[in-house]
Structure 1
Amino acid sequence: MSLEAPYPVYIASHVIGGFGRGSSELGIPTANIPSEDLLASAIPHGKTGIYFGFCKISGTYGTLTRRDTPADDGETKRPPENEITSLEAPIGEEDGGVLPMVMSLGWNPFYGNSEPSAEVHVVHKFSQQFYGARIKLAVLGYIRPESNFVSVEALIDEIMHDIQVAKDKLAQPEIKKVAEEEFWKD
């Protein structure tokens, strides 16, 4: 498999707080990044959906304090107001490598978001939270468009399938080479 235009798309950003559903409700934590950073990239505008690639987290670990912000209808459908606190501890070697990722870009139809989000699931178990850290992404391809689901379980099943698709694609020799590029050096 070889990469097709416009991929790879390289993005440098930082981790922000999101809705908090990835870890708590789905058991699949995500690193959220400002959606405008993705919109400013070479990812085709308006092409929401699920993408795959590699990412690297660097900087310091950080925690998050959430304050829910109600939407106009009284429900929380926008990301909460968040306060990030740096732990002053550098991201460790075990967490700071180039790692596989699956990214959702869009409106999350299952949750009915009122604003788009960019949520990166890094296929790795981190030792600590890393809110506020730097994140580099190499988006290497598109898996599927956004979908709505009949249940949380169906959503989780599809995410797990997306993760497996990403792992399979990232294991291919042509794609794997991207993890060794100069882009990843800090």
Structure 2
Amino acid sequence: MTKGIFPYFAAGEIVKGFGRGSKDLGIPTANFPLNVVQNLPPNIETGIYYGFANVDNGPVHEMVMSIGWNPFFHNKEKSMETHILHDYNQDLYGCILKVCILGYIRPEKNFDSLDLLINAIKDDIQQAKKLCNLPSNKGYITSNFFKKGNSSDGGNSVI
């Protein structure tokens, strides 16, 4: 159950993922290393989440994140894959990603085709935009967590 853990803050170096986000899906992701994934609260469910993110203390943008096993691709390791709603036009490997997860969109599930998965992700992105723009969520954009040199807010982040 995911209630009571939001907002959840995490930070870490962006590492190479499975190489599917940009290539197969057309939806690039920034991936956390395994140690950040392993430090998730034990009660956080696999699924799709929304919130805010920044890279190397830059501007804060809306994001949608998959936490889980990605059943369509039969992952062997749990992952945290963040799609930042901003076009960076460059690889971000080695940069520091900070995320503030604000809530849960839907459970993780399998899909019968790649097209159905892509359509679901596009729906998740639209839902994330709406939820991030709620007055109760917009204040997190200016959280001290996203400021230069700060990588913790409430003690639940890992680098």
Q: TM tier, shorter chain?
A: 0.7 to 0.9
Residue 58 (structure 1) aligns with? 56
- Report the TM-score when normalising by structure 1: 0.75
Per-residue deviation, 1:119: 0.5
Residues 17-166 of structure 1 mapped to structure 2, 5 A cutoff = 17-42=16-41, 44-45=43-44, 47-58=45-56, 96-166=58-128
Equivalent AA in structure 2 for residue 175 of structure 1:
N
Q: Match for 1:171 among 107, 111, 133?
A: 133
What are the ranges of 5 or more consecutive residues in structure 1 without an aligned counterpart?
60-95
- Aligned CA RMSD, in angstroms, stands at 1.4
Moved over 6 A (4+): none
Q: Deviations over 1:40-68 (max 9, x none)?
A: 144724x1111110001007xxxxxxxxx
Equivalent AA in structure 2 for residue 15 of structure 1:
I
For these two proteins, the number of residue pairs brought into alignment is 146
Equivalent AA in structure 2 for residue 19 of structure 1:
F
Partner Cα separation in structure 1 for residue 69 and residue 146 of structure 2: 29
Partner Cα separation in structure 1 for residue 42 and residue 81 of structure 2: 15
- Report the TM-score when normalising by structure 2: 0.87
For the structure 1 residues 182 and 43, does the alpha-carbon distance in structure 2 shift closer, same or farther, using more than 3 Å as the test? farther
What are the ranges of 5 or more consecutive residues in structure 2 without an aligned counterpart?
149-159
Residue 16 (structure 1) aligns with? 15
Match of 2:122, SS? helix
Residue 6 (structure 2) aligns with? 7
Per-residue deviation, 1:124: 0.7
Partner Cα separation in structure 2 for residue 154 and residue 10 of structure 1: 30
Residues 7, 140 of structure 1: 8 Å contact kept: yes
Percent identity between matched residues is 45
Quick check: which one's strand share is greater?
A: 1
Partner Cα separation in structure 2 for residue 54 and residue 38 of structure 1: 17
Partner Cα separation in structure 2 for residue 127 and residue 108 of structure 1: 25
Radius of gyration: which is bigger?
1
Partner Cα separation in structure 1 for residue 81 and residue 55 of structure 2: 14
Per-residue deviation, 1:113: 1.1
For the structure 1 residues 169 and 41, does the alpha-carbon distance in structure 2 shift closer, same or farther, using more than 3 Å as the test? same
